[in-house]
Structure 1
Amino acid sequence: MRTVEAPQIRTWDFPRGIASIAVMAAFAAEHGVPADRVLAGSGLAPAALSEPDRQVPAATELVVVRTLVRELAHVPALGVEVGRRYRLSTFGIFGFACVTSPTVREAISLALRYYQLGYGFCIPIVETGDDGMLARVRLDAAPADVARFLVERDIVAMHRVMVDLLGHELAIGRIEFDFPAGDSAERLHEIFGVRPEFGRTQTVFTLDPASLAETLPQANAQTWSLCVAQCADLVQRRTARTGITAQVRALILPGGDTAGIPTPPTFEVVARELGTSPRTLRRRLAEAGTGFRALVDEVRCTLAEEMLTGTPLSVDDIALRLGYAEATPFIHAFKRWNGTTPSAYRRERAH
């Protein structure tokens, strides 16, 4: 029997810790680019890199990624080399939960369940069966200018973490990329132990059944259970809207039923309602690991899901009620939020 698993969150646009940016800043420093330069435009000061509990929006990490790619364009296989710097310790309690898992298979399943505790922009869809595991790597809606960097960074980081889990090299069955071969081809061959295929229709890699079943050297059932509980608590705390985010979300949410949802207020109107300046509100939301656009999308996603499952409204009607001029941009947005179309979401919930 084959099973398919995917992250519970189907978008890369989630708040994440500062550790990933710290990894990239350290790499940049080794190549002569100081922290203040690689953080330019992100709203972060170098001191923020040493704040372990600091949360940032995904858009902030993308600003740093773009700067890194621009500043270090001369470094061969840049995404690969940066990906090699991610270790289990980079992921905190999430990484510790993986390392104490019973097997590689359990560690992968846990990583998918708590994917939003990581730093990925690629969304892995994992299919397992008697012949092993096949992971399809999606990069939906990520900026094209840094897509290759993100794919190579994330896949190499996944591999690096699995090697840390096992304590020895991990044999990849095959690996394919949906972009042409470049300056990273030989480095990827060296790391994975198999020659990658480029220019394919999708990005995939496979593991054999023996690798999946391998017991992890630091497996510990009691510690694993405690770590998993802490991961669940961390996800709940990160996604709970309290403080300034709760206030902004309350102003975005419409009153009454969903029959005639008004257009969400502008950022400036929300700032005025809260008695603060737009600049201060932007900073406070960034400190909370989110942004105004992300909160608007969150509200729209919640309302869309409610209307799809609780009303007979058509997709066109729902799009209009959410402030879209037509259904197409709403469908694209919904796929970004949930990894599926509104119609498919409604069918799945009805079933």
Structure 2
Amino acid sequence: MSTLVLVKLAAHHGIPEDVVLAETGLTAAGLRAADAEVLARQELRAIENLLAAVPDSDTAGLEAGLNYHLTTYGIWGFAMISASTFRESIDVGLRYLDLTFTFAPIRAEEQGSNLTLILEEEPSLPAGVARFVVQRDAAAIQTLQRETLGWPANPRAVAFRHTGEPGLVDRYRSVFGVTPEFDAPRNLVILDADILDTPLPQANEHTAAMTQQMCADLVDARRSRSGLAGRVRDIVVAQLRPPPSLPDVAAVLHMSPRTLRRHLANEGTTLRQLIDEVRSALAAELVTGGRLTVAEIARRLGYVEVSSFSQAFRRWYGVSPRAFRDR
């Protein structure tokens, strides 16, 4: 669905499908198959192709984000829109963020009357691609907020780490309703926390329970790795204090780090992502088990600082470990 959005955006600018899909190994017909799957590296290549072809590449991410609707995200979107309140919708969205297309992990911080969504850039991405995916996700947050609430709601403030060209500021303002801060320390979308407990117009208790269970099942299925990624995951499970490095894992598997990295990329993952998956799954089990303190769980999962574990847990599940345990 995400790559199809890119293809349709290109078509709007008169760019043929094969230009966007060049060197991705994908075809337009294949993308439209109901069971089609796209690897991260394939979508990133499609983004690079799109940026090279569109005339307004500096704001192409904004245009893309406006086309990512709740229905674009499948069951994840239905889980969000059927939640009882806007707060629950955000919690569900962050808890199952792995089911989205984001390349910028998102975490939330609530303080006073502000709910701040922090978009963390993947450091390995080229600068142009990183700007695109952050713009896309920030604009998509705006789109999803309006569709979830059922009425237009602008963020209180928006900030980007990248530079905003003077002639393009109006484009940002037309999308967000506010003028963003550029060259900021972090990418932020700040929402009005006063609307968090607003009941959602399409809330449905039965649908919410069903779709959230489906999201949980999908996440579990994706984390049940096979092939080389499954072997690497087993190595990570056996050694989390501290987590193994790429050379460590490569030595166990009798291959070079470069070869290991390439094979994992072919399976659509990285060592960093696998470590994150293992920690996420074990963290939920250990927290709900109730026998260990948060500090003990953090140490068991290889975190030096409890605060780092707490931040990671919020990114995975949208709430603190203690709030998760109290559910």
Q: Secondary structure at the match of 2:134?
A: helix
Deviation at 1:347, TM superposition (A): 8.4
Q: Secondary structure at the match of 2:151?
A: coil
Distance 1:296 1:42 in 2: 22
* 2:30 partner letter: A
Deviation at 1:170, TM superposition (A): 1.0
Q: Secondary structure at the match of 2:29?
A: helix
- Name the counterpart of 2:84: 102
Specify whether residues 184 and 112 from structure 1 end up closer, same or farther in structure 2 by C-alpha distance, changes over 3 A only. Answer: farther
- Name the counterpart of 2:70: 88
Distance 2:279 2:202 in 1: 44
- Name the counterpart of 1:231: 215
Cα RMSD, aligned residues only = 3.6
Q: Secondary structure at the match of 1:127?
A: strand
- Name the counterpart of 1:186: 170
- The one-character-per-residue Cα deviations of 1:97-133 (angstroms, maximum 9, x if unpaired) are 0000111111111111000100011122211144131
Instruction: Give yes or no for the alignment of 1:249 onto 2:230.
Output: yes
Equivalent in 167, 175, 181 of residue 197 of structure 1: 181
Distance 1:132 1:348 in 2: 23
- The one-character-per-residue Cα deviations of 1:298-325 (angstroms, maximum 9, x if unpaired) are 66778999xxxxxxxxxxxxxxxxxxxx
- Name the counterpart of 1:335: none
- The one-character-per-residue Cα deviations of 1:16-75 (angstroms, maximum 9, x if unpaired) are xxx100100111112122212211111112212112332222111111110000011445
Instruction: Give yes or no for the alignment of 1:31 onto 2:20.
Output: no
Distance 2:307 2:8 in 1: 45
Q: Secondary structure at the match of 1:213?
A: coil
Distance 1:47 1:100 in 2: 32
Distance 2:229 2:58 in 1: 44
- Name the counterpart of 2:30: 48
Specify whether residues 232 and 42 from structure 1 end up closer, same or farther in structure 2 by C-alpha distance, changes over 3 A only. Answer: same
Instruction: For 1:79-228, list aligned pairs within 5 A.
Output: 79-141=61-123, 142-182=125-165, 183-228=167-212
- Name the counterpart of 1:332: none
* 1:181 partner letter: G
Distance 1:191 1:298 in 2: 32
- Name the counterpart of 1:69: 51
User: Which structure 1 segments of 5+ residues have no match?
Assistant: 1-18, 271-280, 306-339
Distance 2:201 2:22 in 1: 42
Aligned length: 278
Distance 1:127 1:185 in 2: 27
User: Which structure 2 segments of 5+ residues have no match?
Assistant: 281-300, 311-327
CA contact (8 A) 2:223 2:277 kept: no
CA contact (8 A) 2:62 2:175 kept: no
Specify whether residues 214 and 43 from structure 1 end up closer, same or farther in structure 2 by C-alpha distance, changes over 3 A only. Answer: same
Distance 2:20 2:203 in 1: 38
Structure with larger Rg = 1
Identical counterparts, % of pairs: 29
